[in-house]
Each structure stands twice: as structure tokens, then as C-alpha cells.
């Protein structure tokens, strides 16, 4: 959560692998993470887990996919 | 911690003795030191008590900090399957669109005091009662454990799986194939750091700055990236991913 940009090539590789298996329904969080200031996207300076605010963003990204699928 | 307290009390008793029975300058100096002794004792004791009883923080590494232990005790409640989720039954899930949210500490909601603020819970709230979002997040788990978690879930098969993937999911494949990241965290720490909340707080505040850098100067992320760059380790991890996808596909076909 601290440096989402440098992980992009590796996330892309996993994405390509999943797509090759017929699963294109992937929500990449790197852009959403990079767009949010670090002090907002992590729990605290002592804990780099995703904050409640970032969890809200994730739910917003997932909701249309799930509501649209079922 | 008891030897330290004992030594401190012994030192104070010595000062009292000199102050009472000594003469002239020695008695005066001991009297001044007693004031300092009481002040330091009150401050350190007060800080220890406050940290022990009142301070909880989702510090990293949470399982080794006393503040983290307090946080877990205060905010992490687990169901009978060991997940930070409500107690589901087969009857609860019958007739609903069952969604498994599986992943690591992100899905579990480490650091988030109110579970309702985690993304699976927010989804549940928005999707409504026709859906059941089951949280199978587990801190420290990787792809292998997560696949097993969805396969072993006893109360229902999923209609949808939300798989929260983090790049450290490759760690099992890396370690089992000899690519190990050496943690700088000493396995043996002085007893005082383990027992005293104040000493523990100070220790981890100082130590945390370098805890993601191995003694060889390799960051944990650089190690993970090197695992993805290793074609053999990546191929092993890709098979782990395939197993999760195979399960999802088999459930979809059923």
C-alpha cells in the first residue's frame, strides 16, 4: 500500500495470467491506491494496511461488477 | 521485568537509608535523589500502566507488539471457523447469492476497528439481504491457503468469489524453492522488551524503521519482485493460481 506504482509490472503479469485462463473480471487497485494520498489510504504511520477509506473505494469498484453479474 | 522493578526499589530504599541515617552532604544529596527517584518512578510507572491498560494500536508487526496484542484483543472477534466474520449457518445462506471474499489481512480488515467498514461488509450493506458476503480473509495467508479456505467452507458453495490478491502471495512458492528473504527482526528479544509495554513500545518505534530491509539491504518488495522474475518460481505460483481458478470454474459449472 505504500508504493503501488512499482508493483504494476508484476500485477500486470498476474492479470494477464488470469485473463489467459478466461477470467478478465479483474479490479486492479494500483491506480486507486496511487490516486489517494498515503496518509488516507493506510491505517496509520505504523500500519500500512488499507484504511477504511480505501476499503470504501474498493467496495465502490466491486459493487457494479457484482450487481451487474447477478 | 520484576528484577528491574526490584533493583529500582532497592535503589530507593538505599537512598532513604542514607537520607535518614547519613550526615551532612550525603544526607542532603540522598534527599534530592529521592525526589528524582519518586518522579522518575511515577512517570515510568504511569506510562507503563497507561500503555498496558489503555493503549491499543494496529502496529506492525502487530503480533509482536504489546499495543498490537491489545488491539487484537479489543477489536478482533472470530467466528467458529476462525474468520473475522459473523457466525453463518447453512440456513442463513440458503436461497441467497453467496459471495466469498477471500484474501489476506486486507480482506480480514487488520487495522480497521469497525468490521462494518471493510469492503466485504460495505458490499453486503449495499447488495442487501438477497446476498450473503462471507468473509474468508486471513492475515498472513497466501494463494494456497486461500484456495483451501474456499474449498473447505462447510456451509455453501459460492456463486461469486472475490479473490483479493497481493503480490506477497508468491511467498510460499519462493520460500519452498529456496528464495528466502532474511528478516532483520531478531527472533530472541530481551525479556524486558517482551514484558514491559513501555519498553516494547520504544523498541518497536525505533526498530520498525528498518524492519522491511534484510541484513543484506534487500527490501521485502525487491525480494518479492525477484520471485516473480524467477521463471521457475513464477511457474510454481502460476499453478497455485490455476488451482484457485479451477475451483471457481468447477463451482460455476456445477
Q: Which residue intervals of chain B are DSSP H helices? A: 2-21, 24-54, 66-75, 90-93, 105-108, 119-127, 143-152, 171-176, 191-195, 197-207, 220-229, 231-253
CATH of the domain at B147: 3.40.50.1110
Selecting from A18, A46, A50 the residue whose C-beta is nearest the C-beta of B57 gives A46
Q: How far is CA B158 from CA B113, B121, B252, in A?
A: 27, 16, 9
Instruction: Evaluate whether residue B204 is within a structural domain.
Output: no
Residue showing cell 522493578: B5
Would an 8 Å CB–CB cutoff place A56 in contact with chain B?
yes
DSSP string, B61-89: STTTSHHHHHHHHHH----TTSSSS----
Same domain, B101 and B40: no
Q: What is the DSSP letter of B163?
A: E
Residues 6+ apart with CB under 8 A from B4: B192, B196
Q: In this predicted structure, what is the pLDDT of residue A45?
A: 85
- Mean of per-residue pLDDT scores for chain A: 90
Q: Which residues of B touch A (CB under 8 A)?
A: 57-60, 62, 97, 99, 105-106, 109-112, 114, 117-119, 122-123, 126-127, 131, 159-160, 162, 165, 167, 208, 221, 224-225, 228, 234, 238, 241-242, 245, 248-249
Q: Residues B77-88: what's their mean pLDDT?
A: 98
ipTM of predicted assembly, 2 dp:
0.92
> Looking at per-residue confidence, does B241 or B24 come out higher?
B241
Residue B206 counted as domain residue: no
In a domain, B41, yes or no: yes
Assess whether B48 and B154 both reside in one domain: no
Asked if the structure places residue B99 within a domain, the reply is yes
Same domain, yes or no: B48 and B161: no
pLDDT in tens, B5-20: 999 999 999 999 998 8
Number of compact structural domains in chain B: 2
Last residue of a domain, one of B18, B37, B54: B54
Ramachandran area for residue B62 (φ above 0: left; ψ -120 to 50: alpha; else beta): alpha
Residues B84 and B45 in one domain: no
Q: Is residue B96 part of a domain?
A: yes
Shared domain for B241 and B160, answered yes or no, is yes
Distance CA B37, CA B9 (A): 9
Same domain (yes/no): B38, B84: no
Q: Are both B128 and B238 inside the same structural domain?
A: yes
d(CA B79, CA B148): 18
The boundaries of the domain holding residue B48 are: 2-54
Percent of chain B with pLDDT over 70: 99
Q: What's the CA gap between B41 and B18, in Å, rounded?
A: 19
Residues B32 and B119 in one domain: no
Q: Which range is least confidently modeled, A1-10, B124-133, B162-171, B221-230?
A: A1-10
CA end-to-end span of chain B, whole Å? 59
Please, what is the end-to-end C-alpha distance for chain A in angstroms? 31
Give the best residue of B70, B112, B207, B233 to mutate against chain A (max A CB count within 10 A).
B112
Calculate how close chain B gets to A24, using CA atoms only, in Å: 12
If asked whether residues B49 and B86 sit together in one domain, one would say: no
Residue ranges covered by each domain of chain A: 5-69
CB-closest option in B105, B114, B126 to A49: B105
Q: Which ranges in A21-51 belong to alpha helices (H)?
A: 30-35, 38-41
Residues B106 and B158 in one domain: yes
Q: What Rg do the C-alpha atoms of chain B give, in angstroms?
A: 26
Position with higher pLDDT, A48 vs B156 = B156
What CA–CA distance (Å, rounded) separates B36 from A17? Answer: 66
Contact B136, B78 (CB under 8 A): no
Mark whether B50 and B86 lie in a shared domain: no
Residues B45 and B99 in one domain: no
Amino acid at each position: 500500500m505504500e508504493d503501488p506504482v512499482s508493483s504494476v509490472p508484476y500485477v500486470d503479469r498476474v492479470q494477464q495470467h488470469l485473463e489467459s485462463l478466461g477470467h478478465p473480471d479483474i479490479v486492479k487497485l494500483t491506480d486507486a491506491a496511487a490516486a489517494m494520498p498515503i496518509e488516507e489510504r493506510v491505517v496509520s504511520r505504523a500500519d500500512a494496511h488499507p484504511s477504511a477509506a480505501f476499503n470504501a473505494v474498493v467496495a465502490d469498484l466491486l459493487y457494479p461488477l457484482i450487481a451487474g453479474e447477478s | 521485568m520484576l528484577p528491574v522493578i526490584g533493583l529500582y526499589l532497592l535503589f530507593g530504599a538505599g537512598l532513604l537509608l542514607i537520607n535518614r541515617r547519613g550526615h551532612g552532604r550525603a544526607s542532603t544529596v540522598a534527599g534530592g535523589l529521592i525526589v528524582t527517584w519518586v518522579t522518575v518512578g511515577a512517570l515510568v510507572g504511569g506510562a507503563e500502566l497507561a500503555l498496558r491498560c489503555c493503549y491499543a494500536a494496529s502496529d506492525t508487526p502487530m503480533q509482536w507488539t504489546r499495543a498490537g496484542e491489545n488491539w487484537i484483543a479489543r477489536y478482533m472477534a472470530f467466528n467458529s471457523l476462525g474468520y473475522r466474520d459473523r457466525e453463518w449457518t447453512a440456513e442463513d445462506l440458503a436461497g441467497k447469492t453467496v459471495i466469498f471474499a477471500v484474501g489476506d489481512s486486507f480482506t480480514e480488515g487488520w487495522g480497521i476497528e469497525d468490521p462494518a467498514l471493510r469492503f466485504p461488509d460495505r458490499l453486503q450493506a449495499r447488495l442487501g439481504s438477497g446476498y450473503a458476503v462471507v468473509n474468508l480473509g486471513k492475515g498472513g495467508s497466501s494463494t494456497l491457503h486461500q484456495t483451501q479456505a474456499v474449498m473447505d467452507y462447510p456451509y455453501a458453495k459460492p456463486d461469486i468469489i472475490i479473490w483479493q490478491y497481493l503480490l506477497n502471495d508468491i511467498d510460499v512458492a519462493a520460500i519452498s524453492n529456496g528464495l528466502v528473504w532474511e528478516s532483520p527482526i531478531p527472533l530472541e528479544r530481551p525479556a524486558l522488551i517482551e514484558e514491559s509495554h513501555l519498553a516494547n513500545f520504544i523498541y518497536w518505534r525505533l526498530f520498525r524503521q528498518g524492519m522491511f530491509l534484510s541484513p543484506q539491504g534487500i527490501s521485502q518488495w525487491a525480494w518479492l519482485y525477484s520471485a516473480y522474475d524467477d521463471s521457475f518460481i513464477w511457474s510454481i505460483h502460476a499453478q497455485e493460481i490455476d488451482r484457485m481458478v479451477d475451483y471457481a470454474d468447477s463451482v460455476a459449472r456445477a
